[in-house]
Every structure is written in structure tokens, then in C-alpha cells.
Amino acid sequence: MQTDVARSRLRELILDGTYPPGARLTEMEAAAALEMSRTPVREALRALAADGLVRPSGRGVVVVALERSDLEEAYQVRAALEALTAELAATRQREGRIAPADLVDLRDVATETATATAEGRFAEAVRLNRRFHRLIAELAGNSMALHALERIWDQIQVSTLRSLAPPSRPAHVSGQHEELVAAIVLGQAEEAARVARAHVLDTRTITRSEEERA
């Protein structure tokens, strides 16, 4: 469907900073950029507004970023939801409901993320990190939690684009990923939830430090 294609492509352009917070975008400009008609673009912009990535402004929209207080709340909700999905994933693993190949994929992505970070391929590391956390949410088997996390991840990514930098403690971040994978593989639900929550809150602390230095 053309609207879905337009929404996906515009979302990617917002998340990668092509259209940063504060950027204005009209239906005509977006349609020209995507080489599409204005109707699907119009519907796509409405959907992105519902997702909280843009807000109507005049004849178009403006890309929005969360205020600091809203960003704090977003991280709190993300921490709770990622703790939940990690717990559910570990529980499903303990019950034998996760395919071994899916766990191999999770380990591989964690390794790829650590390698990309260590080698300074930060844009790739950000993408892989998102994939890592999404895989856990998928293993949880709760579509509502996954949908809520997707929206929060998008809002946080847009809101922190200007302060994104390689983590000041890459070994710590990678170590938490390893702990999280281990807890899920061993079916340790409470431990998986604890590590996931701590990881998100630590991420916020690091990001806040980068914001203050920016």
C-alpha cells in the first residue's frame, strides 16, 4: 500500500536525522522527495503525527522532539516495558517455547553490536542495538508491548539525535547485553527483568551526560 510505503520511508528519514527536530515538511515537499502523489503522503504524515514524530503546522508538519521532562518519562516507560519483555522472553525460554535458532540470532546481534561499537562504527551500532532490543521484544510474544516499545524507541531516537555519541563505557554496555542474553537463555525471568531495567536507566544516564555537554 502506497501510504504504508510513504510512512515507512518518511519515518526512516526522520530517524536518521535527514529531517531533524524542528524541520518543517509540507505534503508537496515530501511527495517530491519520495516521488509519490500527495494523497498517500498526506495519510502517512497523519500517521506519523499519531505516532508522535511530527505535529501539524500550517500547511505541513514539524518534526518534534520530546522535552526533557517528557524524555525522562519515556525512558521510565521504556525501562518498565523492556523489563517486562525480557521477563516474558526468559519465561518462554524456560517453558521451551523459543526456538534455539532465535537464541543464536540474539547472541549474534549482541556480538555484532559490541564489535561495531568497539570499532567506532557508531551509526551501525545504533541500528544493531535497536535490532537487539527488538528481538527480545519479539521473543516475549507480546505484540502490544512490542508496538508500544516501537513508538517509544522512535520518539527517544529522534529526541536524542543531537546528543548521540559512542557510549563512554562501551564494555559496560556490551556486558549488560551479554548478561541479558545469558539470563534469557537460562530462563531466569527475574534476573532478565532486572538487567533490562538497569540497562535502560544506565543508557538514560549516559545520554543525559551527553546532552549536558552538547
pLDDT in tens, 25-70: 999 999 999 999 999 999 999 999 999 999 999 889 999 999 999 9
Residue 61: which residues within 8 A CB-CB, separation 6 or more? Answer: 24, 25, 45, 48, 49, 54, 55
Rounded to the nearest integer, the mean pLDDT of the chain is 92
State the Cα angle at 7 between 109 and 79, rounded to 5°. Answer: 45
pLDDT, tens only, 171-195: 788 999 999 999 999 999 999 999 9
Residue 24 CA to residue 64 CA, distance in Å, equals 10
Q: Please report, in angstroms and rounded to a whole number, the separation of the first and last CA atoms in the chain.
A: 41
Stretch among 5-19, 140-154, 159-173 having the lowest mean pLDDT: 159-173
- Chain-centroid distance of CA 168 in Å reads 19
What average pLDDT does the segment 109-135 reach?
Answer: 93
Residue 68: which residues within 8 A CB-CB, separation 6 or more? Answer: 211
Q: Residue 62's pLDDT is what?
A: 97
Residue type, 158: V
Q: Residue 112's pLDDT is what?
A: 97
Residue 185: which residues within 8 A CB-CB, separation 6 or more? Answer: 93, 103, 107
Residue among 32, 48, 133 at smallest CA distance from 89: 133
